[in-house]
Structure 1
């Protein structure tokens, strides 16, 4: 019988691995353990220096507003400065690429929005990134429904009347957008598909020009952001026809949704949230998610976001990921159906 304490020649082991191989394997294991400990230490020590939040558009837009409302209180929670940097260019692609290439250490975040996150990679073959492969969703900050507005003197006042006139008028109605493959363009295109109407797309170079021509009556309607539409609705220079969310807006309680009138399930909005490069340590993603949600629970911050027409709801990083996946699929369907391409 072989004893458990049987001596073996030096340089061998129960698994038959040589002493050199055994030590080598042990060394690899030690390196992996050390690497894991370093990653865990880095995450637990996070943040050790200031954090940059990249807004891939010029100052003044919704994403810029979201980032700046949260920057100071987020810095207080993290114990480090949170610096908002505007890096506009290429319809949001430039700033997005900068974040992806910054390194997955949690020190450069993106305040990403509907366009560059859910639309551009499907519509532009030269985008240079894939949202789900290159970015890690952290937390949704706000979700602002699009609002259909029309000239104050438009002959239609309800979604049903809009569709009826589009079908009756030779050539259909003309709708404005702030550019091809923008959320407003694709929302209007989706409505034309769902209602089987013939409408003419008139793209502008920005929402300001589109709004001017809606007010002047040069175009029939415009899927506008709620924040941009509200001052003109209150002033009476345009009228709100419908809201593109599943539920009515608190700021426009008398304006129906497309969901409840002509297109069940219709839901198009402008949203913004925090993203980090893919492969950022899970502990860092979780830390930022928790801190952002803690801020969204504060009444004063919620009120500031809601004043801009944004719906605010707390969410985990997994829930935000599912939301982003659904948004990408929704817009891709419209883009592929109509063959919309930019770039």
Structure 2
């Protein structure tokens, strides 16, 4: 008498080597965004979601989890099932652990690719006597306690960490520097114009309206090249000789342990997206910088960021 379970098992064993029992993706994929709706991280994630959906033929749904300054969202990516159905956008995160805000590291994620970098800008009010960033750095070095620097938001964020890294490289006594937390770069820039701060680090586009109005001047952009929209603002390297690209970045990750084949499919899709002219025009049209790093390079970059940011957080006593 034939045993049907045994017969079925033999049939599966016979065909399994020649076919996969399931192909990814078979259902919608969630893209966790550790930020609220409407901001830069959300906007870039939605641009990616649209193109990933077209590429793979299933919905890629953006899920905003900006609570706790992004801690909730990044933790959700870390703790999700590593099955390819939850991925996420990640950004500068090295400060969370040393500041006691969360416990995650590069090893908690499968890096897919970096797609964005927005260099920090060094901004002062238009009536400030400093004519260059070297003048500003020398003045702050000579009397660090005499100047107030806005962090914009929290002092562990991308813009203040970029500036603190620069000040530390300029041998400024970081124990004397006055960095003040606030409610965001836009408000800090307005406060600076009113005489409340001496320096505000932020992206250049954030300061753009006040620069165009002649109320703020940008002394340097912390990137490899001048920005096309602000060609009169020199790069940090031009002014100081320091070859430091510092600012905010974004990339795509999955939980640690993602299947290598799925990771490779996502990386290939990201490479196509970042090379697509329409996507690039959409990004630059909205003021976002483009930076491509494939998975291996992105992982190395994140590890370097993790180490350098934790070092500067320790120096700042945060």
Q: Distance in 2 between matches of 1:247 and 1:298?
A: 21
Determine the structure 2 residue equivalent to 1:41. Answer: 20
Question: In the alignment, does 2:140 pair up with 1:166?
Answer: yes
**What is the SS of the residue equivalent to 1:68?**
helix
Larger radius of gyration: 1
1-side partners of 2:23 and 2:215: how far apart?
54
Tell me how large the CA RMSD over aligned residues is: 2.4
Indicate how the Cα distance of structure 1 residues 168 and 330 shifts in structure 2: closer, same or farther if over 3 A, else same. closer
Cα separation, 1, equivalents of 2:159 and 2:127? 22
Matching residue within 204, 208, 225 for 1:230: 208
Distance 2:292 2:224 in 1: 18
Offset, 1:210: 1.7
Aligned pairs for 1:149-298 within 5 A: 149-167=123-141, 171-177=145-151, 178-197=153-172, 199-262=177-240, 264-298=242-276
* Structure 2: runs of 5+ lacking an equivalent: 1-8
Residue pair 2:144, 2:177 contacting (<8 A) in 1 also? no
Q: Deviations over 1:64-115 (max 9, x none)?
A: 111012221210101011111111111211111112222001111111111x
**SS of residue in 2 equivalent to 1:41:** coil
Query: d(CA) in 2 for partners of 1:72 and 1:191?
Result: 37
Measured after TM superposition, the shift of residue 206 of structure 1 is 2.5
Query: Given the alignment of the two structures, is residue 79 of structure 1 paired with residue 57 of structure 2, yes or no?
Result: yes
Q: Separation in 2 of the partners of 1:166 and 1:185?
A: 15
Q: Distance in 2 between matches of 1:167 and 1:240?
A: 19
| 2:32 paired with 1:57 | no
Measured at CA, do residues 314 and 88 of structure 1 come closer, stay the same or move farther in structure 2, by a change above 3 Å? closer
Cα distance in structure 2, aligned partners of 1:62 and 1:157: 31
Q: What's the TM-score once normalised by structure 1's chain length? A: 0.81
Cα shift at 1:63: 1.0
> Which residues of 2 match residues 63-142 of structure 1 at below 5 A?
63-114=41-92, 116=93, 118-121=94-97, 123-130=98-105, 132-142=106-116
Residue 309 of structure 2, aligned match among 317, 324, 331: 331
TM-score by length of 2: 0.87
Measure, in 2, the Cα distance between the counterparts of 1:49 and 1:209.
43
Question: Per-residue CA shift, 1:118-164, capped at 9, x if unaligned?
Answer: 3323x23351322x221111111111101111112222131022123
* Distance change >3 Å, CA 231–CA 68, structure 1 → 2: farther
Secondary structure at 2:145 match in 1:
coil
Residue pair 2:99, 2:313 contacting (<8 A) in 1 also: no
2:144/2:178 contact within 8 Å kept: no
More divergent stretch after superposition (311-320 vs 80-89): 311-320
| Number of residue-to-residue matches in the alignment | 301
Secondary structure of the 1:272 match is: strand
Preserved CA contact (<8 Å) 2:125 2:193:
yes
Look up the SS of the partner of 1:74 in the other structure: helix
Structure 1 residue 336: deviation in Å? Answer: 2.6
Measure, in 2, the Cα distance between the counterparts of 1:333 and 1:240: 27
Provide the rounded CA distance (Å) in 1 between the counterparts of 2:244 and 2:84. Answer: 35
> How far did residue 266 of structure 1 move?
2.2
Say if 1:334 and 1:195 are closer, same or farther in 2 by CA, change over 3 A.
same
